[in-house]
Structure 1
Amino acid sequence: MDMVTLGAKGISVSLDLAVGHIADMQVEADGRTLKPLHRAPWVGSPRESLPQDIPEGTVRLSGDFLCAPFSSSDVEAAPLHGWTANSQWDVVENGAIPGGWRAVFRLRRKVMGAAVDKIFTLRDGHPFLYQEHIFSGGSGAISVAHHPMTSMREGGRLAFSPKRIAVTPPTPLEPDPARGRFRFAYPARATDLTHLPLAAGGTTDLTDYRMEDKREDFITLVEADHGGPGWTAIARRAEQDLVLVLKNPAELPVTMLWLSNGGRDYAPWSGRHLGVLGIEDGRAAMGHAASLGDNWLKHEGVATAFALAEGRSTSFRHVIGALASAEAEAPAGIETARDAMRVLAADGTAKDVPFDGEFLRIGRSVPA
């Protein structure tokens, strides 16, 4: 069995146990079925039709998955984004709880000697998946990131909790014009997300995802000190919904954005990976060794790995959700309370939805 599905009133989530990717997420809202997460167009193609050297996590690229480490596994041998994104998970628990559903999955392999558990919780009437990952034991340190992906047929508008800076890497993802293309300047740094430097000169508005911009781009946003949960909101025009991704910044202090819109010409991408945005909340630099070493984020006072130790557990939490919305604009703000989320529009109106505000509670004990 490679797929397991769990559900509560108004929501269902399916996990691909072969690689730990969310294969599907559906939210019932206003008589519609919202599907906030992306699945690569080649998933399900015969394996022999795909390049033989790509990892299983790329073969089955879907939804959201845990990266441990994020990017290159250059400390302990593993594929891109680690075994958590490329190998088998087992079902430990899966069943109803009062007011919802809970499932626990365990990675068959260990990461830096640590056992890894994935916990999904769904609550009746809540349009959110509540996730927790727990590393038990091990040694050394591990960088981590979630990797939720959404896709847009006609682009969309983005909004974020307050960010301190936005920084692109020293080199683009696709520097060879024979293989792909990019738009951002590399390296670049900005404090205004609406004025990010471009390679061709001038600036672009990071909050506007435009479909005509064929490119692969990557940028890291560092959370500002604002005392609330970190969040990203994507108002998808054609889909008429609002995709929401939330975190505790004390656990996951950076949000890395992957803009993948037909910018890779080689297989399996072949120019057909369109309108995709990865919202990669993490505690990481680019690569495991870089995360453990002297990197630019550490100079900014940002942690880039969790310490592991025998007899110790390390955990972090994350939330993905979707709301129906006919508005083409992203929200002006998001506020959370104990049992609700308030989504604030630019015109001053607000929408309240059920939300477990304690799940990401700021001030929750976080391992150093």
Structure 2
Amino acid sequence: MSSADHFVRTTRGPWRLCWAHGSAEIQALGGMLGPLQFRLDDERELDVMHVAPWSGLTRASALPGVLRRLRGEWPCIPFGRADQPPALPPGWQVQPADDGWHHGYAANHRWQCLHADAGRVQLALDFPPDAPVARVEREISADPHAAAIDIGLTVWARRPARLPLGLHPTFRLPPATRRVRVMLGRHDGIHSYPALASDSVTRLQPDTCSADLSALAGIDGPLDLAQLPAHGVFEELLQARAVQSAKEGAPPFALHYLDYDACVGLWWDTAQLPDLMLWVSNGGRQRFPWQGRHLALGAEPVNSLFDLGRVAKAPPGHPLADRTGIALDPATPWHTRYRIAAWQQAAHPDADHHAL
């Protein structure tokens, strides 16, 4: 292949990270990261990031950008749905979204590569001229000393605005039930979605608050989502308020893959993005492309009211009514950093090494 051919291929993506402790792929569409493999030892790798089973199918080419090659991790700017939600409880107000891009313009368009080598990929995307956001950049770097990647996100505003904003790591779940343990740090309660979904099966009572993932307020009694995939078929959205690390240096969120006896942790700035939205996809959507076979767990650090921040407002007394988004200022770019890392369960992550 000529050097010119190589330039075309690398500028269009995908771009690959490859280092002693793992490998990863980043695509242009949505700037999405995935697949991602971490090397646990000389003989074992753990596949961490979800890749949708319809990726590459002919029918998938007609899907919206965010779904067409759905995978792994990406930023949502702005965060959330753009369509009108189903019937909300009394006191909630609905409003039209400022555009039609589900999970934001950035999740539905092709990013430009600014730099790519085996250890670091830097991408950028310019927004339409009428958008409050002017430009976003993200950098994904492999930690040369660990099974870990570090990600930076910068947002330049065109004008002052407050937008719901979130990150969207989506983790792989195996087909066997209850083989992944969900480890959530300290929090101020886990809130269920305020309305029943119109396109999927749900087993949670809407607009409730529970103290623990192992005993959520279910329609048919307590529902345990602390180990996944769960028994049954359903799709759930939850928001854990004010998530913090359980102890110094520990991740606010982690998964224990029992069949590998290995963990994957997610660290982020909980002052900027105080809550964690959990998307539990447990085969609960039947229409294409889901077809009842989609298993994944989205663990999404957010400053948002569920995925409703663009289209609805909670009543003043609701515990999440103050989650109104990030204040953006054209004079100062907004920046955040986060980290995804794996370790064998027998060896706990070192606090200093893994801190942001």
* CA positional deviation for 1:336: 5.3
Cα distance in structure 2, aligned partners of 1:148 and 1:225:
17
Q: How many residues align?
A: 322
Deviation at 1:299, TM superposition (A): 4.8
2:164 is matched with 143
Residue in 1 that maps onto 2:125: 107
* Residues 173-212 of structure 1 aligned to structure 2 (within 5 Å): 173=197, 175=198, 179-200=199-220, 202-212=221-231
Paired amino acid for 2:163: I
- In the TM superposition, what whole-angstrom CA distance separates every residue of 1:132-191 from its partner, at most 9, and x where no partner exists? 110123221221111111222223211111011110121133x4xxx5311111121112
SS in 2 for 1:194: helix
Identity of aligned residues (%): 22
Q: How does 1:76-225 map to 2 (within 5 A)?
A: 76-95=98-117, 101-109=119-127, 112-139=132-159, 140-150=161-171, 151-154=173-176, 155=178, 156-173=180-197, 175=198, 179-200=199-220, 202-224=221-243
1:11 pairs with 13, 22, 25, which one?
A: 22
Any idea what the Cα deviations from partners look like across 1:116-137, whole Å, max 9, x if unmatched?
0101121212111111110123
SS state at 1:84 partner: helix
SS in 1 for 2:195: coil
Which residues of 2 match residues 1-368 of structure 1 at below 5 A?
1-30=12-41, 31-46=43-58, 49-50=59-60, 52=62, 54-73=63-82, 74-95=96-117, 101-109=119-127, 112-139=132-159, 140-150=161-171, 151-154=173-176, 155=178, 156-173=180-197, 175=198, 179-200=199-220, 202-224=221-243, 231-274=252-295, 276-285=296-305, 286-290=307-311, 299=319, 302-325=322-345, 337-339=351-353, 355=354, 357=355, 360=356
Q: Residues 92, 296 of structure 1: CA spacing in aligned structure 2 closer, same or farther, 3 A cutoff?
A: farther
Distance 1:57 1:300, change over 3 A: closer
How far does residue 248 in structure 1 lie from its aligned partner after superposition?
1.7
Q: Separation in 2 of the partners of 1:12 and 1:225?
A: 29
Task: Kindly state the Cα deviation for residue 322 of structure 1 after the two structures are TM-superposed.
Answer: 2.3
Cα separation, 2, equivalents of 1:34 and 1:8 = 14
Shift in CA distance, 208/109, structure 1 to aligned 2, threshold 3 Å: same
Which amino acid in 1 is paired with 2:257? R
- Return the letter of the residue paired with 2:67: T
| TM-score (norm. length: structure 1) | 0.79
* d(CA) in 1 for partners of 2:270, 2:299: 14
Cα deviation, residue 197, structure 1: 0.7
Residue 225 of structure 1: how far off its partner (Å): 6.1
Q: Normalized against structure 2, the TM-score is what? A: 0.82
2:227 & 2:337 partners in 1: Cα distance?
28
Kindly tell me: are residues 297 and 129 of structure 1, through their superposed partners in 2, closer, same or farther at Cα, counting changes over 3 Å? farther
Give the counterpart letter for 1:163 in structure 2. Answer: H
Counterpart contact for 2:314–2:321, Cα < 8 Å:
no
Residues 1:301 and 1:337: Cα distance change in structure 2 (over 3 Å): farther
1:317 deviates by: 1.7
Contact 1:115-1:137 at 8 Å conserved across structures = yes
Contact 1:34/1:324 (<8 A) preserved: no
**How far apart in 2 are the matches of 1:297 and 1:129?**
39
In structure 2, relative to structure 1, the CA distance for the partners of 1:299 and 1:189 (3 Å cut) is closer
* Cα distance between partner residues in 2 of 1:211 and 1:4: 34
What RMSD, in angstroms, separates the aligned Cα atoms of the two structures?
2.6
- Worse-superposed segment, 154-163 or 258-267: 154-163
Structure 1 gap segments, 5+ residues each = 340-354, 361-368
CA distance in structure 2 between the aligned counterparts of 1:262 and 1:33, rounded to whole angstroms: 26
Change (3 A) 1:9 1:211: same
Going by fraction, where is strand more abundant, 1 or 2? 1
Q: 1:107 to 1:296 in 2, by over 3 A?
A: farther
